[in-house]
Amino acid sequence: MIDEMTMTTVVTASPEDCYALISDIEQYPEWATDVSSATVIESDPDGRAAQASFRVEALGRSARYTLAYDHGGAPHRLSWKLVDGDVVKQLDGRYEFNPAAEPGRTEVLYQLALELAVPLPGFVKRRAERRIAHTALADFAARLESGPAS
């Protein structure tokens, strides 16, 4: 069964700063809680990640997957589709970055469609979804608002 989630938050950063952070794939292990490695496999003509592989460690498990990226809406949108994964059948999503009503702030929308390759009990699935949501928005917002690592 495909689970879909849509979440939003508002951050103190410009849409361009949001896009710059989320499109810098190889830096994910520095700020995304469960991402242990992120490697760009292929770049587009503008030098942005077109395809990247990930290894994540969460809830006592390790998983790997490869995503293909679409930067067509940059810097206000970044979307991706699953190419390959060992525990997921679908992992398609997007970020959208839109100026908020308050100057200097951006509304961040995160949307994900997820289908696991193996069935999990409901409570485990919900825990996994909460972890994904935390990384997607809370870790992202914390990194944006703390500035780049020194």
- Give the percent of the chain with pLDDT over 90: 63
| pLDDT tier for residue 129 given thresholds of 50, 70 and 90 | low
State whether residue 93 is helix, strand or coil.
Answer: strand
What pLDDT, on the 0 to 100 scale, is given for residue 117? 76
pLDDT value at 1 more than 80: no
pLDDT value at 118 more than 80: no
Q: What is the mean pLDDT of the chain?
A: 88
C-alpha distances in angstroms, 113 versus 1, 42, 98, 110? 10, 23, 21, 10
For the segment 67-84, what is each residue's pLDDT rounded down to a tens digit?
Answer: 999 999 999 999 999 999
- Give the percent of the chain with pLDDT over 70: 85
pTM as predicted: 0.88
